[in-house]
Structure 1
Amino acid sequence: MDRSLAVTERGALAHLCTHLPAYRDLAEAGSWSEDLDWWIGKVRDGGSAVDACRELGLLDGEADTDGAVSRGPDTPSSTGGRLVGLSDVVLTGQYRCPSGRCARRGQRDDRGRTPVCELSGVTMSFHADA
């Protein structure tokens, strides 16, 4: 079964954003950095992430692209960021794509830094749980 046929634009954007640092390393080692940069520029300017992934061969042999994006109750969260001075209050939620274009979700790293969109370099936006 060709999973790339079922790839959504939001899923492809999330896949690119999540794996872009590793793809940059691979592109540098494989001398295709210019191609990667050109396609990433197209995506930043509103182009299709699905087209970019297909042209760069990033979907062939990959796990299901949407598998890189958690959805539903198992979606990563902030795991309860504590507010200074209000130890009984816990803020929970998820970091989401700052432009709203992709389905990627993120959480703070082990050092407490907020996640960033690997495509734009912009900090992901926090959305508190209801």
Structure 2
Amino acid sequence: MYKKTLGALFSVLMRAGCASGTGQPVSTAGTYVMPDGSGDGQEAVIKGKDIEIYWVAKENKTKALYWKGDAPEEAKEPGPLKWTSQGDREAMDSSLLASQDSTKEFTLDNGVLSYEASAMGVTKTVELKKEQ
């Protein structure tokens, strides 16, 4: 019994180890959307070394800049990628709905981008899922 249990545990760990990373860098590029599929809320685009986040209203097809800053192009190690983005104040100062912050903390883990967003005195943790 002990050998079967140990063998099963070893098998699970080996598969988990193989699935967690190939040793190759993983690109952060892509579009990240609200997981409920509504199209309303926020949407983020990471392209090159930049991240842009927009307030999105699907019904009237509008977007307003919330955040523009820097982002890593790839994750070099398995597990959550965390970074502090330096905001592009010039770009954000011209948007009425943009963040007033100079920096923003981001986490990217298993295709989910998370960060805190504030508007009208309310702060919420936003989680956006990478589109396939």
Compute the TM-score of the two structures, normalised by the length of structure 2.
Answer: 0.21
Which structure carries more helix by proportion? Answer: 1
Which structure carries more strand by proportion? Answer: 2
Compute the TM-score of the two structures, normalised by the length of structure 1.
Answer: 0.21
Pick the structure with greater CA Rg.
2
